[in-house]
Structure 1
Amino acid sequence: MKKMKLGMKLAIAFCALALIAVIIGAVGINGLNSLMRNLDEMKEALGEVLVGERGLVNRSMMRSDLRKSQYSFIDGALKKTDEGWKRYETLPKTVEEAKIWSEFKPLWKTWRAKHEYVRRLSEKKNELAAAGVELGDSRLTELDERAFTASLAARTDWLSLNKSLQSLIELNGKAALSEGKAADRTQASALATLIVAILIGKKWSPRDTAFKGPGHYRKKARK
C-alpha cells in the first residue's frame, strides 16, 4: 500500500465516495418505491371493500354462500388496509405528507364506522333470511332500504378517503422521481470523478515521485 502511487490512492478514495453516494441514493429510491407499493395496495384494498359492500346491498345476492364469500372478501381487504396503515404510520413523513395523513385518518375513521353500519344491517338481513323470512317481507324490504342508504353515505366518505390516499401516492411519486434524477446526477458525477482520478494517476507516476537515493543525484550533479 505504501508503494501505491498517489494517483491510484486518490482514484480509490474518489471512487469509494462516489460508490457510497450511489448506494445511498439507491436505498432511498428503493424505500420510496416500497412505500408507493404499500399505498397502492391500500388503495386497491379500499376499492375491494367497496365492491364487496355493493354485493351485500344487492338484493339479487341472497344466497348464503354468495354472501359468505362477500364477507370474506371484505375481511381480507380490510386486513390489507390495516396492515398497510400500520406500516405507513411508523414511517417518517415530510411536512406536506404529514398534513395529508392527518386529514386522512379522521376520514378513515368516519368511513370505517359507516361501513360497519352497512355490514350490521346486512347481517340482520342474513339472520332474517336464515330464519325463513320471505324476500318480499316488509322487514327485509326495510333493511334493504336502510342498508342501501347507508351504503351511499359510506360511499361519499369513501370517495374523500380515496382522494386523500391518491394525494399521498402522487406526492411520494414526485419524491421518487426527484430521487431518481438525483441518483442519475450522482452516477454521472461518479463517472467524471473516476476519469479525473485516472488522469491524476497518470500525472503522478512513479517516475516523478519515487525516491531514487542520494547516489543517483550525485551522479547527475557530476554530469
Structure 2
Amino acid sequence: MSGYGQFCPVAKAMEVLDERWTLLVVRELLLGSRHFNDLRRGVPKMSPTLLSKRLKSLTRVGVIERAEIGGRTTYSLTACGRELAGVVEALGTWGMRWIHQLGDDDLDPHLLMWDMRRTIPIDVWPRARTTVAFQLDGAPPKASRWWLVVADGEADVCDFDPGFEVAATITTSLRTLTRIWRGDLAWLRAQLDGSVAVSGSSDVRRAVPSWIGQSALSAVPRPA
C-alpha cells in the first residue's frame, strides 16, 4: 500500500486504515464475525476478492491473525486490532450525531437484517422457537422478504421461508425499517403514523418493538 511519506503517527495509522472497506472489516471482527462468509454478510457490497486482499494486508501488519480451527479458517483481532474498538465506536458515534442523510444506495436489506440478527435482545423473546417475517417495500424483489428465527437462545435470519409458524409479520419500507434500526425514528411513532404495520396476536404486536429493538448506536444523542 502507498504511504503518505510522513512520520506523523496519524499518517502512519492511516496508511493501514484508510483503504476502502478496511475499517468496516475491523468493525465486523469487533462485532464477532470470525469466518469469511460471516464477514461477507457484514460487508455484502464488498467483493470476495477485495475482502480476501484486505484480510491478508491486515494480517501482514499485525491487526488480525488467521488460524485453522476444526478445518475452518478463522480470523480474529490481535491486541493491536482490539485497540481499534475505541476508534470504530468514536466514528460510529460521530456519524450518528452529524451524518444524517441516507441515499437510496445506503439502504441494504442484507446488511440490515444481518445487523438485526446479531444484536437483537434475544433474552426478551419467548422461550419457544419464534419466527417474525418482514415484508420490505422498496427493496429489490429477491430481497424484500425475510424471516428472523429465534430458538434455543440463538437468532438466524433467512431470505427464504424456513417453514416455521410465523408469530408476527412486519410490513414496512426498507427505508423506514432502516431509520427505526438506526434510531432516527421510534417504533411507536412509526406504528402510529402507519409507516409500519405489525400483524399477529395483540400481545405479540405489543411485544415486537422490544423483540427487535434498535441498533447499539441508536441511543447516541443528536444535535437539536
**Fold shared by both chains (TM-score > 0.5):** no
Alignment TM-score, normalising by the size of structure 2 = 0.21
Higher normalized contact order (CA 8 Å, seq sep 6+, divided by chain length) = 1
Query: Relative to total residues, which structure has the larger strand share, 1 or 2?
Result: 2
Alignment TM-score, normalising by the size of structure 1 = 0.21
Larger Rg: 1
Query: Relative to total residues, which structure has the larger helix share, 1 or 2?
Result: 1
